[in-house]
Structure formats: structure tokens, C-alpha cells
Amino acid sequence: MKLLSVVGARPQFVKLAPLDRAVQRHNDGHARSAIDHVIVHTGQHYDANMSDVFFDELSLPQPHHHLGIGSGSHSARTASSIAAGRSPK
């Protein structure tokens, strides 16, 4: 099973922490049915004091992908998210 967590704001980081720990506990005891937990950071909060500190303090793994969306209106961030998700790597 693959689980995708898309986070970008402080409340989402806080909610991600217990979910990620539960996935890790599951994977420790169930190697055959391990969950592939992929974390995508939108980059809505791009300042280290507003995002990186939460990853450190909550012992979250570094995101697999960072979209670097930044700030702006809701519609501009949504458009940037869509474009970042489709851009070639």
C-alpha cells in the first residue's frame, strides 16, 4: 500500500507526526504488508522557522518531494502546485 501525505502548513505538520509514527509502528511489525509513506511538502511555509523546525521537533522524516510553492493567493498556490506536480524531473 502507498500512502501519500501532502503537507504545507504548521497544523498539517503537527497532524502528520502521529500518522507517520503509526505507519512506522505498523511497518516494524508487518514487513510483508509495509506501507510506503510518501511525504510531499508544498513549500507553503518555506521559512526554516515555520516548517523545518516542525520536522526536527516532531522527528518527522524529510519530505520525499518539496514543491517549493511559496506564498501568494490561494488560486496562485493551487496553480503552482498543479504545475509543480506535472513538471519533468
65 grid coordinates: 518531494
Dist CA 52 CA 69 (whole Å): 15
* pLDDT per residue rounded down to tens, the chain (89 residues): 999 999 988 889 899 999 999 999 999 998 899 999 999 988 876 666 667 788 889 999 999 998 877 666 667 667 766 776 655 44
CA atoms within 13 A on the CB side of 1: 10
* Residue extents of the structural domains in the chain: 2-86
Q: What does the pLDDT read at residue 77?
A: 63
50 grid coordinates: 515555520
44 grid coordinates: 507553503
The CATH architecture one would assign to domain 2-86 is 3-Layer(aba) Sandwich (3.40)
Q: What does the pLDDT read at residue 4?
A: 97
Walk across the sheet containing 36-41 and list its strands. 2-7, 36-41, 65-66
Q: What does the pLDDT read at residue 75?
A: 75
Where does the chain have alpha helices with state H?
A: 10-29, 52-57, 74-86
0.75 surpassed by pTM: no
